[in-house]
Amino acid sequence: MDDPATKRITSISGLNPYQTKWMIRARCTQKSDIRKWSNARGEGQLFSCTLTDATGEIRVTAFKESVNQFYPLLENDQV
């Protein structure tokens, strides 16, 4: 039986800038430490990671509140 969640997954190579809702299933192959930043528009924190699936890889950067939301969820070499 097909899992409905699997049908909603988009491959990394299938992503495009016009999609507004998408879900990928990928391995975290690299995750940076959290860094703090400050500029004329404000300050905050960020981290980056590389996500890889069978079709390609994508670099992700999370800023501000997204750092607290996603940093604990992503582990190197885990899907």
Residue 79 lies in a domain: no
Total number of domains constituting the chain: 1
Residue 18, class by beta-carbon neighbours within 10 Å (0-12 exposed, 13-18 middle, 19+ buried)?
exposed
Residue 18 lies in a domain: yes
Residue 15 lies in a domain: yes
Residue 61 lies in a domain: yes
What is the structure's pLDDT at 12?
Answer: 97
Residue 50 lies in a domain: yes
Domain extent for 11: 4-73
pTM, rounded to two decimals: 0.84
The model's pLDDT over 2-59, given as tens digits with 9 standing for 90+, comes to 666 667 899 999 999 999 999 999 999 999 999 999 999 999 999 999 999 999 999 9
Residue 78 lies in a domain: no
Please name every residue paired with 52 in a beta bridge, in sequence order, or none if there are none: 27, 57
Domain holding 15: CATH number?
2.40.50.140
Would the CA dihedral through 26, 56, 61, 21 be positive or negative?
negative
What is the structure's pLDDT at 68?
Answer: 96
